[in-house]
Amino acid sequence: MTRKLTAFTLAGVLAALSLVGLAAAETSPDNAIKYRKAVMSVVGGNMSALVMIAKGEVEHAAALAPHAQMLAETSELSLAAFRQNTDGQGREKTTAIAKVWGDWDDFEKGMEAFTEEANKLASMAEAGDMDGLRSQIGALGKTCKDCHDDFRSK
What average pLDDT does this structure show over 6-18?
A: 55
Q: Which domain holds residue 118?
A: 2-151
How many domains in the chain? 1
| Residue-level pLDDT at 22 | 46
CATH (domain of 81): 1.20.120.10
**15 or 97: which leads in pLDDT:** 97
Cβ–Cβ < 8 Å for 52, 28: no
pLDDT digits (tens, 9 = 90+) for 36-47: 999 999 999 999
Q: Taking 50 as the threshold, does the pLDDT of residue 23 lie above it? A: no
What average pLDDT does this structure show over 58-75?
A: 93
Nearest of 104, 96, 87, 107 to residue 29 by alpha carbon = 87
Task: DSSP letter for 85, please.
Answer: -
Q: What is the dihedral of CA 146, 37, 107, 22, to 10 degrees?
A: 160
Q: Taking 80 as the threshold, does the pLDDT of residue 14 lie above it? A: no
What is the pTM for the complete model shown?
0.80
